[in-house]
Structure 1
């Protein structure tokens, strides 16, 4: 079914978790002024760096502190102010408010991949291609690069990555003689065996999380979202989505997942005492194990993500952020220079050394990175598993240009499958309908 509505310059609307922002959504061609490519022209970054000035960076990622120090040391005439304006949605609220007010916006902003489209469709971020960003494409892994470029524009540069892997409690698995699952069918069997051996044990926790669900759909080959300009498709009826829903429904029906929210005190306790036995999550997770689950050091290991088809190697991203230059930036040349420094070369390597997971192939393929032992995981060279996962991420995934809103209503739709007799399939259908309605209301052309 194809539903068309007039697309005009209008408010794209307030996402449920952030305040309203005037984002211009245009249906007709993207001219030079709109995408920034014709008006920007070549940038003399060297001259801008020599002249110097101030760059304000809004970001919550802690490894950027070292990058700022290194950048200012290399370019002493540039003053970089690193501001934590809040994490995720809180920063997006502040950023949107600043853009709408016409003042107070930073020169550089950290934006998660799933949220980037919201700013790109509103023409609120600079197209970085004229600055040379498009030439950097070969240096990034497929998943992150796919997330930052669209229709010939480069909306941001990838800062990090979250290729998925399976973290599992080896101590618990060994104690009960259960093999590490290599497929999701084996995962269900392992869940049954664990819970039968000890009703207090659960294969994992899940109370409904949009990012986790879409990551598994992504890995299963599902592509529910398609977006080109203001033409959007939302379709949770594809085979990949059905495969995910059918398998995960078994875990919910048989009460094999712990009804514990991630990042809660109960979750950390479950990871520490082994009652939550696995996590399928992004490669950025090790630092959280070290800091939040210290008591279980040595118990956990890393394995490749289970496959939907035996013998496959498909993976997906879970999390990750970019650095974008808002259109309202006061010094775009310096802003881009910092963005490139922070995401490539020595800046990227410094962040990886501080614990970030790379989006850059050079760092991902470095022997020092690949061979690094993880004491927490019994000395395992876990980066080798993460690197393989990064290489096997499907590159054609798309988020909605209003994904922040869509994610905010996940628990009102799909979330019902975790607390009632509603099935995941029915919940996904409701999520689709809610997303389609919102898109139509905001002036998008929506397919479903």
Structure 2
């Protein structure tokens, strides 16, 4: 184990933690018997991802001695609360759990995850994209395998852009600002943001910021938001967009109103992860054929800098049961490293984390999505959208680190960033308040804090 176990338990979900019933969630767990019916080894997987259950049939056909049960106990924060409760009680935890990249350091720091290095994963660096590999390779250990990835891209409604006279896709943030003014003049917003911590992380990451760090022994954290010039660079830019009413700050992401805006063109673009296409298809079906995909704008003309937005890994919960761990690793390998398993998930809508898929002709040549009825839908007007997204994955900047209590950090972000709801507040003030809270919280959890 390459992390020192903290003497004080970290509250995984902090302010967002709430009672979450585990009835019906009890499974094999780390302390239960490995044998199921017919002598099979049963493993329990917690995942909200709709593509992971698709891999079970193929895996069980190749491994008839293993039975896999995939259970959805809730999306991200709800699952983390349930997992935290199960781990604390030492009862009912799954064998494998879907964990987003930003939350992975919390579990690894607490010594709750199996280091997969000695099980064969240490040699997988070249298999995965740099962004996803860096996210699971923590302090020299491999604490999960990448399930998918979310390199940022500019998704835009070409019909609205054309109407506004934005005939060239913005390639710099200055051009994006000018496009925002033209789009506002025709009655739409170029995008929306009501205060999303994941978006903040992605945009400051793309700007080159590195405000967070954790020491190798897991005891010291650096929290330097106000002193990072690249954080300031993004905040100043976004504050200008807010001040001039060029972004919609009133509509929360993923709400019905948000989908309506994407559907009718009143929200004309998104700065979002590469997993967005199928969400657009389901959330804004009437806009089919109008949307396109481009690389993210950058700070300098000709730049390529990019970041990740979202994405998940599949992690193994620590267990002393050797047969359990071997069975769990086999499924983890199949779902995240085996070509057949990965293809099953990609065909279901997952955006790949592996380089082989990202460079395959079948993937790169896609011009349509499969709708709910299995019919082809040229949502992006016949564009080979995966060519753009595959390049976006190659452009992700290395070295960005999440806090070892990132779930808590994101949970309180919106409360501090009142600039989205009040003209008298600024993003700089919100960042300072957020930093102070994070530093105090870190000290309460037993960390030494550096600025």
TM-score normalised over the length of structure 2? 0.88
Q: Is the 8 A contact 1:207 1:415 kept in 2?
A: no
C-alpha deviations, 1:329-355, integer Å up to 9, x for none? 751111111111110122112111211
Alignment equivalent of 1:320, drawn from 311, 323, 330: 311
Other-structure match for 1:25: none
Q: Is the 8 A contact 1:188 1:250 kept in 2?
A: no
How far is the alpha carbon of 1:414 from its aligned partner? 2.2
Listed as ranges, the matches of 1:391-410 within 5 Å are 391-410=394-413
Other-structure match for 1:373: 367
Q: State the secondary structure of the residue aligned to 1:109.
A: strand
Q: Is the 8 A contact 1:283 1:386 kept in 2?
A: yes
Q: State the secondary structure of the residue aligned to 1:189.
A: helix
Partners of 2:175 and 2:421 in 1: CA distance: 22
Q: State the secondary structure of the residue aligned to 2:205.
A: helix
Q: Does 1:248 align with 2:238?
A: yes
Partners of 1:231 and 1:363 in 2: CA distance: 38
Q: Does 1:211 align with 2:211?
A: no
Q: State the secondary structure of the residue aligned to 1:81.
A: strand
C-alpha deviations, 1:376-432, integer Å up to 9, x for none? 000110101111110010121100000000001101112444434221112111111
Q: Does 1:82 align with 2:70?
A: yes
User: Which segments of 5 or more consecutive residues in structure 2 lack a partner in the other structure?
Assistant: 20-38, 369-377
C-alpha deviations, 1:284-323, integer Å up to 9, x for none? 0000111111101011111111112221101100000000
Q: Is the 8 A contact 1:219 1:316 kept in 2?
A: yes
Alignment equivalent of 2:144, drawn from 134, 140, 156: 156
Other-structure match for 1:33: none
Q: State the secondary structure of the residue aligned to 1:111.
A: strand
Q: Is the 8 A contact 2:418 2:426 kept in 1?
A: no
Q: State the secondary structure of the residue aligned to 1:232.
A: strand
Alignment equivalent of 1:182, drawn from 160, 171, 184: 171
Alignment equivalent of 1:310, drawn from 282, 291, 301: 301
Partners of 2:361 and 2:229 in 1: CA distance: 38
Partners of 2:348 and 2:6 in 1: CA distance: 45
Q: Is the 8 A contact 1:107 1:325 kept in 2?
A: yes
Alignment equivalent of 1:62, drawn from 50, 56, 71: 50
Structure number having the greater helix percentage? 1
Partners of 1:416 and 1:337 in 2: CA distance: 48
Partners of 2:261 and 2:408 in 1: CA distance: 30
Q: Does 1:344 align with 2:344?
A: no
Q: Is the 8 A contact 2:194 2:420 kept in 1?
A: no
Alignment equivalent of 1:292, drawn from 283, 288, 301: 283
Q: Is the 8 A contact 2:207 2:230 kept in 1?
A: yes
How far is the alpha carbon of 1:125 from its aligned partner? 0.8
Alignment equivalent of 2:131, drawn from 131, 143, 150: 143
How far is the alpha carbon of 1:83 from its aligned partner? 0.6
How far is the alpha carbon of 1:52 from its aligned partner? 4.7
C-alpha deviations, 1:189-219, integer Å up to 9, x for none? 11111112x2x31111110100001100000
How far is the alpha carbon of 1:238 from its aligned partner? 1.4
Q: Is the 8 A contact 2:6 2:109 kept in 1?
A: no
- TM-aligned CA distance change 1:399 to 1:90, over 3 Å: same
Listed as ranges, the matches of 1:88-107 within 5 Å are 88-107=76-95
Other-structure match for 1:354: 348
How far is the alpha carbon of 1:153 from its aligned partner? 0.9
Partners of 2:61 and 2:43 in 1: CA distance: 14
Other-structure match for 1:270: 261
Partners of 2:6 and 2:325 in 1: CA distance: 28
How many residue pairs were aligned?
411
Q: State the secondary structure of the residue aligned to 2:270.
A: strand
- TM-aligned CA distance change 1:246 to 1:65, over 3 Å: same
TM-score normalised over the length of structure 1? 0.89
Other-structure match for 2:374: none
Q: Is the 8 A contact 1:417 1:427 kept in 2?
A: no
How far is the alpha carbon of 1:137 from its aligned partner? 1.6
Q: Is the 8 A contact 1:108 1:329 kept in 2?
A: no
